[in-house]
Structure 1
């Protein structure tokens, strides 16, 4: 994690959240229970800030300074409002292409996906506030700087974002093995949002119930799955192929 993208110490993190900084994630020491830590927990819950409990050794690795049991990562980019982004995209006259990442947690996978998204003309990437990979130094590096060019929206719930896209006339297609259709059986030339699932669980079953279409990539080897960033690239480039 790059040092300019982190804040350590409980008071400093509380002030950062209250001042409206883009706090991406807070790492909290597992057994910390001071009064000040309770204040931080309240502020994080009010601001719906993503946090996780970690051993003190992880915090010591993140910073040599006196962290008091808390280290926060600050996003190097501003996040976009989903409604505004959908409106702007529809007004542009181009056929919309959105990407929804359902709790992809690895920063390098996230960065690689952003890089491919930028190359394939994706209008925006939608992630959930809780459980998603942070936008940190690893993300910026793996994306080769593309993170500064593709709008990223953080939403409370993926399902609400899907309903909003569908209500705006945008078809939703989930990448999943739980279907007989392959990506080559689906029409991708209309306004579209592609949903990619997490590295270990895939797209959430409750999300699969509400999407318009499900599609998989044909597999011919003995390994039954692709890395999510590679699978995402295949979906995006089939979209490009159909549209051109």
Structure 2
């Protein structure tokens, strides 16, 4: 048994109920490694679903590489590929879309109350979330960058946002 498993054997954190657990939506990711990291992160937080949005002409990831990076999380988290036009129908109607994007009008992550039922959208490593992706009630947020580098890896950005969601909603878990 490794050190983390020993530690968490003594620390009990109640799982998030599936009815309110976050959903992660990754638009047009380019690398299976990032997809694997997102699956692992989703399993750490207790997400109910991860969607990898791809157009019909986009290549599906080499699943072996993605699963290698994700480890056992690939078997423990519900994940699917879907087409852009299918996304909205796969999200429960009481969830709100949150776009984590550096765009004009986006709000500082640390100054907003994240929705209790959140469908967190992340964009591709190169171009972000497509500009035409807009859902009713969508909230656009960004992570403030105080250093010289003004971008983060997609899985790191997702980690910051998902654990901020956990921090805000931990008293309800």
Relative to the length of structure 1, the TM-score reads 0.57
Query: Which of the numbers 31, 52, 71 marks the counterpart of 1:144?
Result: 71
Contact 1:112–1:143 under 8 Å retained in 2: yes
Are positions 1:227 and 2:148 aligned together? no
Are positions 1:206 and 2:128 aligned together? no
Query: Which of the numbers 47, 52, 63 marks the counterpart of 1:127?
Result: 52
Deviations 1:65-121 (A, max 9, x none): xxxxxxxxxxxxxxxxxxxxxxxxxxx663131000001120011101110110001
Q: Which residue does the alignment assign to 1:153?
A: 80
Equivalent-residue separation in structure 2 for 1:225 and 1:117 (angstroms): 21
CA-atom RMSD in angstroms: 2.0
Equivalent-residue separation in structure 1 for 2:18 and 2:75 (angstroms): 23
Taking structure 1 as reference, are residues 177 and 192 closer, same or farther at Cα in structure 2, changes over 3 Å only? same
Structure 1: tracts of 5 or more residues without a match: 1-91
Structure 2: tracts of 5 or more residues without a match: 1-16
Q: Which residue does the alignment assign to 2:10?
A: none
Counting only pairs closer than 5 Å after superposition, residues 70-219 of structure 1 correspond to structure 2 as 94-130=19-55, 131=58, 134-157=61-84, 159-162=85-88, 165=91, 168-178=93-103, 179-207=105-133, 209-210=134-135, 212-219=138-145
Equivalent-residue separation in structure 1 for 2:159 and 2:166 (angstroms): 10
Contact 2:18–2:48 under 8 Å retained in 1: no
Q: In structure 2, the residue corresponding to 1:174 is in which secondary structure? A: strand
Contact 2:21–2:46 under 8 Å retained in 1: no
Contact 2:37–2:155 under 8 Å retained in 1: yes
Aligned residues: 150
Relative to the length of structure 2, the TM-score reads 0.78
Structure with bigger gyration radius:
1
